Amino acid sequence: MSTLNQAELDGLLATAQGEVLDNEEKLEAFRIAHFGRQGLLKALNERFRAVPGPEKREVGQALNAFKQALQAHFDAAKGSLTAQADAAGSGMDHTRPSGEVPLGSHHPIQVVRREILSIFDRMGFTVADGPEIEDDWHVFSGLNFPEEHPARDMQDTFFIQRNPDLLLRTHTSSVQVREMEKREPPLRIVMPGRVFRNEAISARAHCIFHQIEGLYIDRDVSFADLKQTLLAFAEQFFGAGTKIRLRPSYFPFTEPSAEMDVYWGLETEVDKRITKGTGWLEIMGCGMVDPAVLEASGIDSKEYSGFAFGMGIERIAMLKWQIGDLRAFFENDVRFLKQFTSSF
């Protein structure tokens, strides 16, 4: 076994570097021949052991440099082969759709709003919109609110300081008046929107919240139509077989007026708490549109009749997901918002 020296290593390196490794087979053959168990490096290492002590240092350095150069040649060839394969698109389907880009989720108020609107859409209701800054007529007078009604009070209503004739609507019922003034019956509309009341913020109340209003006006509309429509809504929103009840109530703009409850059940402690031990949950206000309201908007109350309803979106979202604190909807903490995914 001849002693290892620089000249021999230089020669071996020149030969190795002269090998053109332009496909996978050549690359693999090179790997086995040089780095394999019976390859060149293995043989050189064995010969290195036989190098006499005083020469070991010098030869060792030469051998290490040789190994690194050999590895570099191999890595470079491998790198360029991979790059070529990528460029040629081998194994890659360029027609494949890209992965989903996470875009966040809808706000729970939006989810419930859309779900409710789509149920009424299937029943033939279209969506109408009205301004958030309103006047007394559309929010109160046109809806038959008496002059001294407490809702008109500074305590409940935000007035615009520079123009006290203007105020922030306290309910979406104002859009009913706008639509009745603007259009001829038949009317079959739902009116979603933000409303404002001068209330201290707490787990149960907020100065800004959302409502969905409904209005149906045509010839011969009866209380039976109201009940059937709202039952159909409740069954689609809360599930088939949902029971409802209508409790007598009072609103200035409907006669008779009612509160609609859905039967929630009394199985768990939570059920008992949220239904206050009755099993029933109040969902919305409703009633037959008062003839005075129709007349105030120029609709002949002898020819037409109708029903109306209004519900709070936050309240329904809280029931749907058992959310205990209204403030969560307004804080917009992503840890809260991320939990709501829906097709709506």
Q: Which burial class, exposed, middle or buried, applies to 339 when counting CB atoms under 10 A from its CB (0-12, 13-18, 19+)?
A: exposed
157 forms part of the interface with ligand DAH (CB under 6 A): no
Which residue in 30, 251, 264, 304 binds ligand DAH (CB under 6 A)?
A: 251
297 forms part of the interface with ligand DAH (CB under 6 A): no
217 forms part of the interface with ligand DAH (CB under 6 A): no
Stretch that binds ligand DAH, among 37-45, 229-237, 292-300, 302-310 (CB under 6 A): 302-310
- Measured between alpha carbons, how far is residue 141 from residues 37, 105, 173 in Å? 97, 40, 12
Q: Which is nearer to ligand DAH, 77 or 180 (CB)?
A: 180
Of the candidates 236, 235, 254, 257, which has an alpha carbon nearest to the alpha carbon of residue 246?
257
314 forms part of the interface with ligand DAH (CB under 6 A): no
Which residue in 144, 254, 297, 305 binds ligand DAH (CB under 6 A)?
A: 254
213 forms part of the interface with ligand DAH (CB under 6 A): yes
How many residues of this chain interact with ligand DAH, rule: CB under 6 A? 11
192 forms part of the interface with ligand DAH (CB under 6 A): no
| In the complex, minimum distance from the CB of residue 107 to ligand DAH, in angstroms, rounded to a whole number | 21
Q: Which burial class, exposed, middle or buried, applies to 1 when counting CB atoms under 10 A from its CB (0-12, 13-18, 19+)?
A: exposed
Stretch that binds ligand DAH, among 25-33, 77-85, 272-280, 285-293 (CB under 6 A): 285-293
Amino acid symbol at 175: V
Task: Give dist(CA 122, CA 79) in Å, integer.
Answer: 60
| Half-sphere CA count of 146, side-chain side, radius 13 A | 4
Q: Which is nearer to ligand DAH, 63 or 191 (CB)?
A: 191
Q: Which residues contact 88 (CB under 8 A, 6 or more apart)?
A: none
Q: Which is nearer to ligand DAH, 46 or 132 (CB)?
A: 132
Which residue in 130, 192, 193, 285 binds ligand DAH (CB under 6 A)?
A: 285
Task: Give dist(CA 215, CA 294) in Å, integer.
Answer: 12
Q: Which is nearer to ligand DAH, 9 or 308 (CB)?
A: 308
Helix (H, G, I), strand (E, B) or coil at 116: helix
Which residue in 138, 171, 206, 315 binds ligand DAH (CB under 6 A)?
A: 171
Which residue in 70, 191, 212, 286 binds ligand DAH (CB under 6 A)?
A: 286
Of the candidates 176, 213, 150, which has an alpha carbon nearest to the alpha carbon of residue 296?
176
Q: Which residues contact 32 (CB under 8 A, 6 or more apart)?
A: 39
Q: Which is nearer to ligand DAH, 74 or 309 (CB)?
A: 309
Stretch that binds ligand DAH, among 7-15, 101-109, 111-119, 307-315 (CB under 6 A): 307-315
Q: Which is nearer to ligand DAH, 44 or 176 (CB)?
A: 176
Q: Are 176 and 169 in contact (CB under 8 A)?
A: no
- Polymer length of the chain: 344
- Applying CB under 6 A, the residues found at the interface with ligand DAH are 171, 173, 213, 251, 254, 285-287, 308-310
